[in-house]
């Protein structure tokens, strides 16, 4: 499975299944909760509600 497919499985699909509006997508009006990873899949940045928290 590609990293793109894996991210979709653990984000978009879960949010849709749990009916979490504004979660699981990067889009205008969404919550802007994002984890940015390095190429080695280590956490580089964490944003919650569009604000850098880590």
pLDDT tens across 1-31, in order?
Answer: 898 898 888 888 999 999 998 898 888 988 9
Residue ranges per structural domain of the chain? 3-52
pLDDT for res 36: 92
| 46, 52 Cβ separation under 8 angstroms | yes
pLDDT average, residue stretch 38-42: 92
Separation CA 54–CA 48 (nearest Å): 9
Task: Write the burial class of residue 8 (CB in 10 Å: 0-12 exposed, 13-18 middle, 19+ buried).
Answer: middle
**pLDDT tier for residue 44 given thresholds of 50, 70 and 90:** very high
């Amino acid at each position: 499975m590609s990293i793109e497919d894996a991210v979709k499985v653990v984000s978009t699909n879960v949010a849709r299944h749990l009916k979490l509006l504004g979660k699981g997508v990067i889009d205008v009006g969404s919550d802007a909760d994002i984890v940015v990873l390095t190429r080695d899949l280590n956490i580089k940045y964490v944003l919650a509600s569009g604000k850098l928290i880590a």
